[in-house]
Structure 1
């Protein structure tokens, strides 16, 4: 059996410093590339629109934040901030009319960035994911994909750069928005089951549902990353995201689902907590199956602290921080990304100082020093 020493990645200090710069809400106003665009987008009401686990503003900014953390170039980060503003097959949120406002957006962000945004909005994104994961990218990295609309649909040939940009943006888009409600209503994405009627399956449609993390989409994100990493003409187009060991490690769908179930069983107090061994073992197994998200490691760090296992707690907290800083968004969306990092840093500080509170009320007094 794996010893706790072997479960957790060491803390990536350069990645932590990049993440810390993005923690407060003002980071976007300091970004020379994105800041001039934000007021124009906000003027279109994105802060008032519902979108998945938050507002449309939360979503657009969250995707741009991951892409910024991943060191993507200006055009790709702008794609993240604007990736659905023309609407698309999934989201009926048209903030700019493609028929009349493309020139306005081109003047704002430049033609290369606007071209990416328009193409990302108008192509069949489900088919893009399916074809890329099926290995249909050509030897030079290009990929044919249909545009949205009624049949017969026109195909376009995406360049290797466009394929890489859309794959990386799709990875960021998925981690920002996907949780169990999406698993239910977008069953089997990208081959979504469209036969289920809301009147019959109303319980699945009840937003936001139990707010479990996704049990199926991280493995797809891992596969998208590997599709880039293993195709030489695609791998050299853009910086590879630091998730899944630089997009080199796979995640089996069965392991993802099992790890999520184990994590949720502890979070929902389905494991006996009079003695911590059961909950600790469940979380350790969750980390073995899916070491690529921070939340199970963070909860495990707190259990270790409660059991007086300070060294193990410090290792778990460092591993959790590394994963949080690799994503730029939370997997467990009950709490925002910056709050997960804030609590994990408290856990790490407490483990290093051997100072975990003995009284329950003192948990409310913890502060980072």
Structure 2
């Protein structure tokens, strides 16, 4: 059975390459002026899920930049939690006294988006998007403090896209457990009883359930009143393809079984077959395809390795963040490029120690 590999979009890959530099944000004319202000609020010292709060804010902004979102949406990504919210008790700007200060820095429209995103019920928003409760004109009604709150179609589209970037940047198995069944969060589980789930960062498995939700959010952007308001993120076939929850769970489990070496350790055919099934279940993330490319190289299957590595590179270029958070996005991209180069050259080290010498050329 043919594997669902992707071709490489050269324009998308070129955009991704510009974001591999750690200093990309300082070169962004829209976002760079905000960087000193945000850093002055000590975001680089605050813990946040798989890294620091700075890592998170920059990672969300990176995906939005890759997805070619307009200035106000990218600013929302960089500042999306600075007033605090129900999920993050990190208040970097006081909404009662500093809204004017932030509006001076980013403009009233961008500040309004940040304020709404921080103060509305994100849980309620995600629930209603996934339930298809978007009005015919693209607007949405939420409840806030017992009163109706109307989001415009632009706000709905922007908040969907930022929610997609926010989730892919931060979510991994630790949150699968402590935020089980989000957005229907089970809040009555005592930490002391479920101490094993609470240990951070846990086994660092990729999420077994969040990509299904991100795909569902993306599908909502196909709403006739939303589709042309903002550029569609280049994931899940331009937000046109679903990912079943069962397929995501199966793919994550199969992938992790190979990573944990829960396969025969002498011959690689079983591990290869398991990863191929993982890719069939979920062809939208790069890590399983990247590992599969290395197995193909080890088996002397250079053509298959090139196809797998090229497809993995396309997936990494589409997201701008890693699905498997054991290493950073730029490291996944770098190793994938090594694999692709080796496949194109028809070479792969025969000795383990020579893997340490590999370098990208050209």
TM over 0.5, yes or no?
yes
Superposed, which structure 2 residues align to 1:198-347 within 5 Å? 198-229=191-222, 231-347=223-339
1:349 matches 2:346: no
Residue 154 of structure 1, CA deviation:
2.5
Residue 355 of structure 1, CA deviation:
1.4
The aligned counterpart of 2:88 is 91
Residue 217 of structure 1, CA deviation:
0.4
Residue 11 of structure 1, CA deviation:
1.1
1:189 matches 2:182: yes
TM-score by length of 2: 0.99
Residue 207 of structure 1, CA deviation:
0.2
Measure the CA separation in 1 of the matches of 2:286 and 2:146: 42
The aligned counterpart of 2:158 is 165
Residue 133 of structure 1, CA deviation:
1.1
The aligned counterpart of 1:175 is 168
Aligned residues: 361
Measure the CA separation in 1 of the matches of 2:54 and 2:37: 12
Superposed, which structure 2 residues align to 1:32-51 within 5 Å? 32-51=29-48
Residue 145 of structure 1, CA deviation:
1.1
Measure the CA separation in 1 of the matches of 2:137 and 2:350: 61
Measure the CA separation in 2 of the matches of 1:196 and 1:176: 25
Q: Secondary structure at the match of 2:181?
A: coil
Structure 2: unaligned runs, 5 residues or longer: none
1:11 matches 2:8: yes
Once the two structures are superposed, what CA deviation does each residue of 1:79-123 show, in whole Å capped at 9, x if it has no partner?
000000000001000000000000000000000000000000000
Measure the CA separation in 1 of the matches of 2:166 and 2:279: 24
Superposed, which structure 2 residues align to 1:49-128 within 5 Å? 49-128=46-125
Measure the CA separation in 2 of the matches of 1:234 and 1:125: 19
Residue 267 of structure 1, CA deviation:
0.3
Residue 153 of structure 1, CA deviation:
2.6
Once the two structures are superposed, what CA deviation does each residue of 1:279-311 show, in whole Å capped at 9, x if it has no partner?
000000000000000000000000000000000
Once the two structures are superposed, what CA deviation does each residue of 1:7-36 show, in whole Å capped at 9, x if it has no partner?
311111111000000001110000000000
Measure the CA separation in 1 of the matches of 2:44 and 2:148: 34
RMSD value, Cα:
0.7
The aligned counterpart of 2:350 is 358
Residue 146 of structure 1, CA deviation:
2.2
Once the two structures are superposed, what CA deviation does each residue of 1:197-237 show, in whole Å capped at 9, x if it has no partner?
101001001000000000000000000000111x1111111
